[in-house]
A = this chain, B = another copy of it.
Amino acid sequence: MAIRILVTGGTFDKVHDPISESLVFHETHLPEILERSRSLLDVKIRTVMLIDSLKITTGDQEIILKVCQDAEEDQIVITHGTSNMEKTARFLGEKIKDKTIVLTGAMVPYVFLNTDAMFNIGAALAFVQTLPHGVYITMNGKIFNWDNVKKNTELGLFEKIS
């Protein structure tokens, strides 16, 4: 059975627009990242949205939920902005019990020399293959359950609630 990757946007996929001199979305880099990583996993990528997760709405989260529920795969990786990632994880974790879902993102976009995107996607694809059903976040090499994770916005990292 393939692994499903759902793309929702976030820092992960931002690029530099030389005209506006700001970070914007064009399209996901997931196919390029997996090729560069020489991944041989059977992976299906679907772009669900390309948004800044700071602006994610309950409506957006309901769309992500529905795509997860409708997917025939039971191993799902979701790329997500780090803002509100723990809220989307909680939203999914309360409702989905029969799949392994791992959310991940990046603190530095893929198009930067010092990106953490490749490391995080490598970790997410490993965790999704080995963890029991449930919803998780992986960032910085660490793994968190959906019901025990918060973002420390001051330090720019995730940590356990308790």
Contacts and interface: CB of A to CB of B under 8 A. Distances in A.
Contact of A107 (B38, B107, B131): B38
Interface in A26-80: 33-34, 36-41, 54
Among A34, A40, A154, residue most surrounded by chain B Cβ atoms (within 10 Å): A40
A113 interface: yes
Query: Quick one: which of A83, A109, A112 has the most chain B CB within 10 A?
Result: A112
Contacts of A11: 18, 21
B16 A112 contact: yes
A25 to B, nearest CB: 13
A116 interface: yes
Interface of A: 11, 16, 18-19, 21-23, 33-34, 36-41, 54, 83, 107-109, 111-116, 118-127, 129-131, 138-143, 153-157
Contacts of A41: 140-142
Contacts of A143: 126, 129-130
Given A36-B119, A38-B107, 9 more contacts: A22-B23, A38-B108, A38-B157, A39-B140, A112-B112, A120-B122, A122-B123, A126-B143, A130-B131
Given A40-B157, A141-B40, A143-B129, A118 B112 contact: no
Contacts of A131: 130
Lowest 7 A-B CB distances belong to which pairs?
Answer: A122-B122, A37-B119, A126-B126, A119-B122, A18-B107, A40-B140, A123-B126
Contacts of A122: 118-123, 126, 141
Given A23-B23, A141-B122, A112 B111 contact: yes
